[in-house]
Structure 1
Amino acid sequence: MRVVIAEDNVLLSAGLELLLGSKGIEVSAVVPDASGLADAVATHRPDLVIVDVRLPPSFRDEGIKAAVALRQADPALPVLVLSQYVERLYARELLADGSGGVGYLLKDRVSRVSQFIEDLRRVAAGGTVMDAEVISQLMIGRRSGLDMLTGREREVLALMAQGLSNTEIGQRLTVTDNAVHKHIGNIFAKLGLPPSDGGHRRVLAVLTFLDNERPPSPA
């Protein structure tokens, strides 16, 4: 797997390069700003792009704006946003095309190397990985429909939004696959969404609901 990194923090970018190299992942280029990212992607055609939200010159939203632009130009390009911040507007826009291959992780919550590498590979393979705090931020102000979910259904929804499979959710919550399947069916029914067993597609369906609030169906 070949990766391009956009990160202005030299220590962090160097650390990422060493870490990925030790796991057999080739870092094709490391760039410190958004303008260099587009050129690096065009030159190296990576399997995955890792980008910080805030890059020079203004350190506001250049990184994630560049990620959105890359996805608009090539929806099949896997992109992982790795940041200290949750940019809600651009996070939704990044997810809007529904084609998968998207991740959004917070730097200070990436603590396990093995899980981080697994997340990278999941995104590169077309899956979706979302930090729980990102999901929480996306839910703010969008309670319609979600209020009908039980506490356990909310837990399952959050884990679905992080890209976990039914089996992984069952292991995390210590319940059977059948119980998870039932919870997911209830979630889709209450949110008025068609059930789907397709990995990242169901994640994106939930996030699309959160981005396009609909009133609950009449009783």
Structure 2
Amino acid sequence: MLTKRKKLTKKEIKEDKLVEFYYKTQSYIEENKNKVLMYVAAFAIVVVAVIFFLNYRSSRNEEAGKLLSRVMDLYEQGSYLEAIEGKQGTNLVGLKKIVEDFGSTENGETAKIYLANSYAFLGQSEKALEYYDDYSGSNDIYNAAALAGQAGYYASKGEYEKAADLFKKAANVSKINPSRPDYLLRAGINYMKAGQRDEAKALFQIIRDDYKTSTAFAQVDRYFTELN
């Protein structure tokens, strides 16, 4: 006599499917052992390669940091040409060489900003622009500085609206950047020169409201007077 078949619970169905999947997987591995081993080996090679690359990049970045720290004394002393070229016969490698050899590292990207600044201080604005524009590091302060450097170049060429847009962009990279009020002020000044009075007023008002202890705040009232 046939008995009524017991209805499986959801848990039992799930366990049954899991067992089925397990045996199917085992069967596939047995039938395709060489292929599976090849995939595992390939994955292991990729993992090792990634670890090697990350370690290599880290060591390169560390090396660039050491070289950059050595040359910064020259930069801070205002010896910009020496900072760019370095000193032959010493361990002082110039900013230009650091950028050439380590430009893809974070410290190499930082060196681009100081190299661009050095060219700007020497009056070589085209070269400065090249390195400001090439910056692609992850540091917000340097990213803003790169944009402001480009803005300064276009302001010197009389392209006031473009300069203003870049200064504004630099100001908006980070609201905690100590240079933000200065970037806002310079953006406003360039908007004034471009004839965009409302845009200039809006930026000057931010300085008035939010940056009362900044040097930009001490200057902003005279520009408001010019606008009225």
TM-score range, shorter chain: 0.3 to 0.5
Relative contact order: is structure 1 or structure 2 higher (C-alpha 8 Å, sep ≥ 6)?
1
**Length-normalised TM-score, structure 1:** 0.33
